[in-house]
Structure 1
Amino acid sequence: MSDVVEYQINAMVKLRKYLSLEKISNNINNVLALRMNPRFVELLKSSSPILQYETCWVITNIAAGTTEQTRTIIDAGAVPVLIELLRSENKEVRTQAAWSLGNIAGDCGEFRDIVLHGGTLQPLLELWNGNDSIESKNHMLQVAMWTLANLCRWHRSDWDVLAPAFPILRQSIYFEDPAILSETCWALSRIFHGSHPKVSYLLDLELCQRLVELLKHENISVVNPVLRTLTNIAYGDDQQTQLIISAGAIPILYELLDSPNASIRLETILVLANITAGTVAQIQSVIDEGCLNRLFDILNNTKESFKIRKEACWAISNATDVKHPQQIRTLINMGVVHLLINFITDCLYDTTIQQKCIDALENILIASESELSNASKNSMIPSSYGWNYDPWKVNSSNNSGSNASSNTISFNDNDDSLLSKSINNLSLSGSSSQISKGSKSSHPPSTTSGFKDRSRKSSTPYLSGFESRNLQKKNKTNQSSKWAHEMSAFNQLWKTVEILENAINKTNYYHVQGKRK
C-alpha cells in the first residue's frame, strides 16, 4: 500500500464500501486473505483523522463478522489502539472507535473481557463530557451507550470494573433521545440479569418509577428493553419485586397485554410471571388489577402464538405456588382447571410447560384438599362444573381435548395421528430453542440472553407420589350428599393429575417453578 495519505484514504473508502455489500462474510474473507490487518493497525496510528476514521470503519465491518473473523482483528493488536482513539480530539474518530470496540465486545464473553479489561470503560465514559453540539453528541452517545450495553453483555461480567458506569446509566435514562434510552435500558437489563451485590446499588424506587414512565413511551424500541429490565428486576427477591409494584407498574402492564405488537405482549407477560412468583400480596395485586383475567383470555386464545400462550400459562401457574386458599378459590371460579387441562393437550411436545401445568393443578388440589377437610366451609369446586363434573371429559375451544376409558387417556391432534395413544405408552419429547447472536449490528441489539428457570422455595414442600395425599382423603359418612359429590369430583381430579403426571415423568422432567430471566 502506498505511503501517500490521499491514496491510503481512497483505498480505505473502497474497502469500507466493499465490506458493506451483500454477502458480507464472503467479502470479509476476501479482505482478510490480503493479510492487511497489521497494516490497518498502523493506519489507525496515522496523524490524519480522516484516515483513522475510515480505517476504524473497515475494522468495524470486519468485527461485524464471525467470531473467527473478529479474532483476526484482536490478534493484530487493534484493541489497544482503538481504546486510545476513544480520546481522539476528533469526535467522528471517537465515535467510530467506540463502534469498533462495541462490535468486538458483542461477539462473545471472551472478547468482551479483552475489551473491558483493556481499559475501555474510562475513556468511553468520558465521551459524555465535552463541548460538542447536542445533535452530534447524541449520535456519539448512542454508539457509546450501545458499546457500554455490549460490555454488560454475556455471563460473568466483571461488575467491579463496570461499577463506574452506573451513575452514567442513571443519568442517561432521563435523556429524551429514543436511541439513547433504548441502549441505556438494554444495558440496565443486562446488569440486573447479574447477581453481583454492586448491582443492587443501582436499584431504588426512583429508578423503577422512571422505568414505569418509559412503559408509556411511543417508541417500541424503548418499551421492549424497559420490559426486559423490569423482568430481570422482578427476578430478584420479593423486595425488588415490590419496588416495581410500588412504582405503579401493574396498571400499565395490564394495558400492554392488549398491545398489537407481539413482542410487547410477550415481554409484558414475562414481567407478570415474575410478579406472580412473589408473595400473596403481590399475587393479589395482579388479580385485583384484572391482569390474571387477561392472562386467562390469552391462554385460551388459539389465535395467539404458542410462545405467548406458554408464558401466560407460566404466569398463571406461578400464582398457584403459594397455595393461598382464597386466591385458589378465585382461580377455580375463573375456570383455571379446565384451562390448564385443555392447554396440556395443546403442548404435547413441550414437556416443561406440561409439567408446569401439572404442578399448578397439584397446587390447586392441595389447597382444595385443605379447604375441603373442613365441611363447614364453602365448596372449592365451583357449582358451574355441576356435581356430576367429570374431569375426563373436557371440552376444548381449540379443537383438541382429552378423554379417558379405564386407565388410559388419548391425546388427539389433527396434525399427528401418533399423538392418540394409551397414556402408558405416551412418549413426550421436549423442545429446544436457539437464541441468535444478534449483537453485532449498526442497530440496537434486539435480544439479550435467554431466560432461565429458577427454583423457588415454598413453605409447603412438594410431596412425590399420591399415596401420602390419598391417605388424607377419608370417607366422612356424616357429610351431606353435596359433600359426597364434591369429594367424588375432587378425587377424580386427583386421578386426572396423577395419570397426566405419570406421562410427564416418563420423560424424566422435574417440577419447574418460580421466576425466570
Structure 2
Amino acid sequence: MQDIQDVSLFPTILTNINSTNPDLVTDAVRSVRKLLSAEHNPPIDLVIRSGLVQKLHYLLQFGTPTQAYESSWALTNIASGTSEHTKFVVENGVVHTFIVLLNSPDAQLAEQCLWGVGNIAGDTPALRDYVLSLNITEAILQMVQKSCSQSLLRNIAWTISNMCRGTPPPNFKYIKPLFPVLCKLVTAHVPMTDEQVIDTLWAFSFITENANAFEEEIFKEFQKNGIIERLFVFLSGPNTTQVPAFRTLGNLLSGSDMITETLLQYGILNHLIAFTNHSKEGFVKDAYWCLSNVTSGNVSQIQRVIDSKIFPKIFEASVTGSTAVRTEALWVVINAVAGGSRAQVNYLVSIDLAKCFGLSLEFVLSKTNIQSNFFDALLSVFNKFHGEQLETVCMTFKQHGWDNYFEQLLNAKTSCTNIIEEASDIYYQSKSSKATINGWNFSPASTPPANSDDVNVRLSNLRL
C-alpha cells in the first residue's frame, strides 16, 4: 500500500487491517502509524472512532514482530494526544500489555512500549499511580539487567522521571527500588548535556520535592551512591543540568538540620552565594530560597550564613530585587531573626536590619503570605533584648524612621494588628539611650559568634 499523506485511503486501511493476508495487515498498521505520526492534527479521533485501538492492541499481543512494533508505536502516538485520548488507551488495557512487553526479547519493541508507558505516566498523577500499581518498577529493574542501548537508557531515565513527577507525590515504595538505577544513569560516562543525565536530575528534583518522611532515607541513598558530589559538579554545567541539580539541593536543604549541616560541610554555601550573582533571575531567586532554608535551621547554621558576610547583600536584595527575589530574600532575614541567638540578631541590627525592615514594609503589606512571619520577626527582635540593650536596639530603629513606621502601621488595617501593637508597645516604652552599652557594640564591623545566650525564639509556620 502506498504511504498515506491524508485520510483519503482510510477505508482501504480498515479493510486491509482485518485481512487474512499478513502482508496487507502489516502495511495497514504501518499506514495507521504514519497517519498518527503527522506533526499537525493527527487523526486520533478518527482512529479511535473506527475501532482501531482495539485492533492495534490485539496485534500488539498476537501479531508478527513487525505488526507488534508498528502497533506499539501507533498506540503510543494515540496516548500522546489529549488526556481523553490517553484515557481511552488506558481503558482498553494497553498499559498492562506495554509493561509485560518491556521484557520482550525484541529490544526495539520493548523500548517502544517503554516510551508508551512513559507518556501515560506523565499525563496525570492518577495515571502515574495506575502505571506504578502494575509493577512497572520490577519490569524496569529487569530491563536494566540486560545490555541496554544508549537510546533505551535515555528512555528509562525519561520514564522514571515521569513516574516521580506530580502532586501528590507517588508512593515511595515504588520509587525506592529505582534509586540504584537512577544513580547509575547520572554517574555514567555520558556528557552532562545528554538527555539521560538531564531527565535523571529532574527525577531527583521531583523525588526530593515531596520527600516528607523519607527525606533522611533519600539523602542516605544519595550519599551512598556519590550523588551529592555529582550534584555539585552539575551546578557548574550548562543551564539544562544546573536547574534540576540546584532544585534538588534546595529541596534537600528544606529537610532536617542534619541534612542541612551535611550539605554545608560539602560547601554548598559558597555555591549559593555565587548564584546570588547569576544573570538569570530564576537562579537568584532559588539561591535566596536555599539560603532561607539554611537560616531556618539551628543557630550554628545561621552563624555560617553570618560568617559568609552575605547579609548586607541579602538586605539589599530584599529591598531592591524583583518581587520573587525580594520575597525569598526576606525569608532569609525573617528566619535568621526568628531562630537566631541574641548575639546574632545584635549583629543583624548592627548592619541595618531596622533599615531593611522599614524599607520592606510597603512590599510586605502587599503580600499576605509573608506578613504574619515578618511582623512576628519584628516582635522577636524586641523580645530578644532587655534593659539598656533593648534601649539601644530601639534607638537604632528610631534612627531609621520607626516612629513614623509604627504610626502608619497602627493606622493601617492588617491581619497582624495585635502583633504590631505588641511590638510598638515595647518600642515606645523603651527609653532612648546610648549607642554602646555594656560591651554591646553596634558597629557594622562586628560579627558576633553564636554563644550560650541563645534565646532561640522561633516563629510559627516557618517557611521551609
**Same structural fold, with TM-score higher than 0.5 when normalized by the shorter chain:** yes
SS of structure 2 residue aligned to 1:286:
helix
Say whether residues 1:87 and 2:103 are aligned partners: yes
The match for 2:77 is: 61
Alpha-carbon contact 2:292-2:335 (below 8 Å) kept = yes
Picking from 61, 70, 75, the partner of 2:86 is 70
SS of structure 1 residue aligned to 2:346:
helix
TM-superposed deviation, 1:130: 3.1
Distance 2:297 2:304 in 1: 11
Distance 1:475 1:296 in 2: 26
The match for 1:114 is: 130
The C-alpha deviation readout for 1:386-437, integer Å capped at 9, x for no partner, is x6543155xxxxxxxx7956952xxxxxxxxxxxxxx24x699xxxxxxxxx
Say whether residues 1:213 and 2:233 are aligned partners: yes
SS of structure 2 residue aligned to 1:99:
helix
Structure 1 window deviating more from structure 2 (252-261 vs 187-196): it is 187-196
The C-alpha deviation readout for 1:165-224, integer Å capped at 9, x for no partner, is 1112222221234322222222222323223445354143743233222211x2212111
Alpha-carbon contact 2:391-2:433 (below 8 Å) kept = no
Distance 1:12 1:35 in 2: 12
Q: 1:391 to 1:61 in 2, by over 3 A?
A: farther
Picking from 153, 157, 164, the partner of 1:145 is 157
Q: 1:103 to 1:292 in 2, by over 3 A?
A: farther
Distance 2:46 2:317 in 1: 50
Alpha-carbon contact 1:224-1:267 (below 8 Å) kept = no
Structure 1 window deviating more from structure 2 (324-333 vs 343-352): it is 343-352
Distance 1:99 1:43 in 2: 18
In structure 1, what residue type is equivalent to 2:230?
A: R
The match for 2:371 is: 354
Alpha-carbon contact 2:373-2:462 (below 8 Å) kept = no
1:350-499 to structure 2, matched below 5 A, reads 350-367=367-384, 370=385, 373-375=386-388, 379-380=392-393, 388-393=399-404, 404=407, 407-408=410-411, 423-424=412-413, 470=425
In structure 1, what residue type is equivalent to 2:286?
A: E
TM-superposed deviation, 1:329: 2.1
Say whether residues 1:231 and 2:247 are aligned partners: no
The match for 2:452 is: none
Q: Looking at both structures, which has the greater relative contact order when contacts are Cα pairs under 8 Å and sequence separation is at least 6?
A: 1
Task: Give the fraction of aligned pairs with identical amino acids, expressed as a percent.
Answer: 23
Alpha-carbon contact 1:233-1:240 (below 8 Å) kept = yes
In structure 1, what residue type is equivalent to 2:245?
A: V
Q: 1:257 to 1:168 in 2, by over 3 A?
A: same
Distance 2:389 2:127 in 1: 66
The match for 2:328 is: 311
SS of structure 1 residue aligned to 2:212:
coil
Picking from 2, 14, 18, the partner of 2:34 is 14
Distance 2:185 2:244 in 1: 14
The C-alpha deviation readout for 1:456-485, integer Å capped at 9, x for no partner, is xxxxxxx96855995898667xx957699x
TM-superposed deviation, 1:381: 5.4
Distance 1:406 1:173 in 2: 52
1:222-301 to structure 2, matched below 5 A, reads 222-301=241-320
Distance 2:393 2:91 in 1: 67
Alpha-carbon contact 1:208-1:243 (below 8 Å) kept = no
Q: Any gaps of 5 or more consecutive residues in structure 2?
A: 1-13, 438-458
Q: Which structure shows the higher helix fraction?
A: 2
Distance 1:150 1:222 in 2: 17
What is the total number of aligned residue pairs between the two structures?
A: 414
The C-alpha deviation readout for 1:131-160, integer Å capped at 9, x for no partner, is 35xxxx222212211211222233252222
Q: 1:44 to 1:466 in 2, by over 3 A?
A: same
Alpha-carbon contact 1:299-1:312 (below 8 Å) kept = yes
The match for 1:328 is: 345
In structure 1, what residue type is equivalent to 2:161?
A: A
Q: Any gaps of 5 or more consecutive residues in structure 1?
A: 394-401, 409-422, 429-462, 485-510
SS of structure 2 residue aligned to 1:321:
helix
Q: 1:481 to 1:273 in 2, by over 3 A?
A: closer
TM-superposed deviation, 1:358: 1.8
> Normalized against structure 2, the TM-score is what?
0.78
Q: 1:266 to 1:85 in 2, by over 3 A?
A: farther
In structure 1, what residue type is equivalent to 2:279?
A: P
Distance 1:311 1:273 in 2: 7
The C-alpha deviation readout for 1:63-94, integer Å capped at 9, x for no partner, is 33443332111101101111122113333322
Alpha-carbon contact 2:392-2:434 (below 8 Å) kept = no
TM-superposed deviation, 1:272: 1.8
Distance 1:331 1:239 in 2: 25
Distance 2:159 2:399 in 1: 63
TM-superposed deviation, 1:262: 2.6
The match for 2:462 is: 514
> Normalized against structure 1, the TM-score is what?
0.71
Q: 1:161 to 1:213 in 2, by over 3 A?
A: same
TM-superposed deviation, 1:46: 4.8
Distance 2:423 2:280 in 1: 47
Say whether residues 1:99 and 2:119 are aligned partners: no
Q: 1:331 to 1:28 in 2, by over 3 A?
A: farther
Distance 2:402 2:212 in 1: 43
The match for 1:162 is: 175
Distance 1:138 1:340 in 2: 54
Picking from 152, 172, 177, the partner of 2:185 is 172
